[in-house]
Amino acid sequence: MRGLVVTTALAVLVLAGCAAQPETATWSIGTPTSPTGPVTVSSVPVPPAKLSPQGVRVLEQAKRDGARTIGLTISTERGKADEVAASLRGLGATVEATDAAIGYVRVTAPVESVAKMTAVDGISRVDVDEPLSNVDPTP
């Protein structure tokens, strides 16, 4: 019997919450407010990072080590590989390979320009090339 009372009470509370009327607000063009208050930087959705956290760490290590250039493998949006390659050349990168069919650009870039390069339109993902170890993989 007690379980039935608790279940009924929960059902009433849930239904009461679902029936609550949302707060109404009037919006006009040019006002920087929302129904919940002013729009802040933290309330604006942030686009996903084009450079992975591991890539950020490798880039920071390259800066600390005094490296002048770093290799980048770049994935582009469909049909944008040539445009991206041209934009990266303009920012000082040396384009080593491009494949427009799969949206791939491989560059060697000045370390200090990588942040600008990741912001180029048409880039969907940037990976920093890491040096491979010289360990012999033979079992």
Structure confidence by residue, pLDDT tens digits, 82-116: 999 999 999 999 999 999 999 999 999 999 999 89
Q: End-to-end CA distance of the chain, in Å?
A: 68
Q: For 130-138, what is the mean pLDDT? A: 67
What percentage of residues in the chain have a pLDDT greater than 90?
A: 47
Q: Is 23 exposed, middle or buried (0-12, 13-18, 19+ CB in 10 A)?
A: exposed
Quick: pLDDT tens for 60-87: 999 999 999 999 999 999 999 999 999 9
Looking at the predicted structure, is the pLDDT value of residue 28 above 50? Answer: no
Domains of the chain and CATH, by start: 53-128 (3.30.70.920)
96-99 LR contacts (CB < 8 Å, sep 24+): none
**Cβ proximity of 53 and 61 under 8 Å:** no
Determine the Cα–Cα distance for residues 60 and 27; give it in Å rounded to an integer: 44
How far CA 131 is from CA of 28, 86, 104, 114, 134, in Å, comes to 54, 26, 20, 18, 9
| For residues 9-14, average pLDDT | 52
Residue 122: partners with Cβ closer than 8 Å, 6 or more residues away: 76, 77, 80, 83, 84, 87
